[in-house]
Amino acid sequence: MAHTLGELARHIGAELQGDPSCLIRAVAGLQQAGPGDVSFLAHTRYLKHLATTRASAVILDAAHRAHCRVSALVVENPLLSYARAAALLHPEAMPAPGIHPSAAVGAGCRIHASASVGAQCVVEQGVEIGADAVIGPACVIGRDCVIGEGSRLLAQVTLCHGTRIGKRTLIHPGAVIGSDGFGLAPDRGAWVKIPQLGGVRIGDDVEIGANTTIDRGALEDTVIEDGVKLDNQIQIAHNVRIGAHTAIAACTGVAGSARIGKRCQIGGGAGIAGHIEITDDVIITGMAMVTKSITRPGVYSSGMPAQENALWHRQVVRLRQLDGIAERLKNLENRLQEK
């Protein structure tokens, strides 16, 4: 999928410094690139490799154009422009439209002629699949699900009954969407299951990572708004709402009925308590334990960074003494006050 440098510059809106007829075939890192490759400089950490790169061209910002000895594609946001160049040069292989003969498709489905349903899939009754949608191999689509135009489920994805997926949404292997929320009523030392009667609504342009799970609501829907990006092995409990364009890194858990605002960024391995609200534009760092609502944008953190085991042991001991330390300090202050 080769393009001239001129075409590439136009596609990503770059100012070209170099020969527009040069043919570009692939993207590559500054150190690995060779003739025919375009590379990019998105972090000064890699500036040292710019001088020696063998790439035919480099995407970079105006501040670094002077350091570039090969052709330059000058843009405002090199990472973003690189993403667009990579998508142009390396288009994803799409399966042919149609339903694989090994797929089991139930009654009353409406599957667009341009959509693809892969081998070993199970599509239960009443499912609706939009134009250009791709259901990869071995997916299970429960009854009455709706999958919007251009959305793709890559492999082994499970959508439980009634799940609604928007347009151009991408779901990675092993994800489970619409499983029952964890709703239990105590009954004399045992638990009675509370039927989970809500559903899950996923917006447009959402990405959902491998083995991530999103539970259906207890009565109303769990909602993932447009443009949300979820990494692998995330757990979203019932009745959670995640605001548009929020990104969450892997292994984070969001407990029931939590509401997360728009454009938030949540690090990996974080935990968000149930029934709390996080406002828009909040950044939460990795492994943080969020126990209360956050009402102001900003960066929030918790956790103890790892250190040598012996030091950690002493710290843990001191932590247990901390209440006593505070009391003893107060005593000293009082005694000095008296003098």
Binding to a second copy (CB under 8 A): which residues in 170-209? 170, 172-174, 176, 179-180, 182-187, 189-195, 197, 205, 207, 209
DSSP state of 49: G
Binding residue (CB under 8 A) for a second copy from 96, 306, 334, 338: 306
Of 4 and 211, CB closest to a second copy: 211
Catalytic: 90? no
> In 3-state terms, what secondary structure has residue 10?
helix
The C-alpha atoms of residue 144 and residue 131 are separated, in whole angstroms, by: 17
Burial 151-161 (b: 16+ CB within 10 A, else e): bbbbbbbbbbb
277 touches a second copy by CB under 8 A: no
DSSP secondary structure string for all residues of 163-176: -EE-SS-EE-TT-E
CB of 246 to a second copy, least distance (A): 9
Question: Which residues between 116 and 155 bind a second copy (CB under 8 A)?
Answer: 118-122, 124, 136-138, 140, 142-143, 154-155
Catalytic choice (43, 100, 172, 238): 238
Handedness of CA 249, 254, 257, 258 (dihedral sign): negative
Q: Which two tokens stand for residue 175?
A: 């994800």
Of 226, 166, 243, 160, nearest to 197 by C-alpha is 160
Of 164 and 245, CB closest to a second copy: 245
Question: Which residues between 216 and 245 bind a second copy (CB under 8 A)?
Answer: 219-220, 227, 229, 231-233, 235, 237, 245
Binding residue (CB under 8 A) for a second copy from 2, 48, 291, 293: 291
Of 66 and 305, CB closest to a second copy: 305
307 touches a second copy by CB under 8 A: yes
CB of 7 to a second copy, least distance (A): 18
CB of 124 to a second copy, least distance (A): 8
The torsion of the CA quartet 148, 152, 155, 160, rounded to 10 degrees, works out to -20
Burial of 277 (0-12, 13-18, 19+ CB in 10 A): middle
DSSP state of 103: -
164 touches a second copy by CB under 8 A: no
Of 47 and 104, CB closest to a second copy: 104
The C-alpha atoms of residue 324 and residue 330 are separated, in whole angstroms, by: 10
- What track of x and - describes contact with a second copy for positions 51 through 90 (by CB under 8 A)? --------------------------x-xx-xxx-xx--x
Active-site positions read 238
